[in-house]
Amino acid sequence: MTEKLKVATVSLAGCFGCHMSFLDIDERILDLTAVAEFDRSPFTDIKHCGPCDLGLIEGGLCNSENVHTLREFRRACKLLVAVGACAINGNIPALRNPIPLKECLEESYVHGMGIENPQIPNDPELPLLLNQVRPIHEVVKVDYFLPGCPPSADAIWKFLTDLIAGREPSLPYPLIRYD
């Protein structure tokens, strides 16, 4: 019996929509689990990424913990895939980039509507926010980019089945058009 492909996934600065799209492969997930097993992922309760064949990254980088997790994935995974627009270009979380971080924090925690006891959180256990939200390829080498917000379940399925079959992944135009 050939060994199963080891797959890890994580959501950094994202909305979990790409993971929901992954789950939209529906019953095909049974075909997937026949040839692949999940390491660290929201689908498991594994806290750290062990050696893996494939790491799927949803979301960009908005804080120091995101950077730490991404580097752990890069060290552990033979292939790293930026899944969705947030990982590829920062997407919606990056809309804060033109605004200084201090102003973002003050608007959220001091001047925003309905705030009682205004104070900017400053606990050492909280990850520090980056000045700007960044795409993941600015910090680690990324092997593949799977576009979309989110990529459709069919696009994710085609991408994974190509890789599992040892083919270079290629997405036909209908899977990467968004109008």
Given 17, 55, 90, 135, the residue binding ligand SF4 (CB under 6 A):
17
**8 A C-beta contact, residue 124 and residue 51:** no
Coil vs helix vs strand at 173: helix
Among 18, 32, 61, 175, binds ligand SF4 (CB under 6 A): 18
Nearer to ligand SF4, 85 or 175 (CB): 85
Among 5, 29, 92, 104, the residue binding ligand SF4 under the rule CB under 6 A is: 92
What H or E segment, with its residue span, contains residue 105?
helix 101-106
Q: Determine which residue in the list 5, 15, 35, 105 makes contact with ligand SF4, applying CB under 6 A.
A: 15
| 96-115 residues near ligand SF4, rule: CB under 6 A | none
- 79 burial (CB, 10 Å; 0-12 / 13-18 / 19+) is middle
Interface with ligand SF4, residue 86, by CB under 6 A: yes
- Least separation, in Å, of the C-beta of 110 and ligand SF4? 27
Taking the least distance from each CB to ligand SF4, the nearer of 39 and 58 is 58
Residue 120's Cβ-count burial label (10 Å; 0-12, 13-18, 19+) is exposed
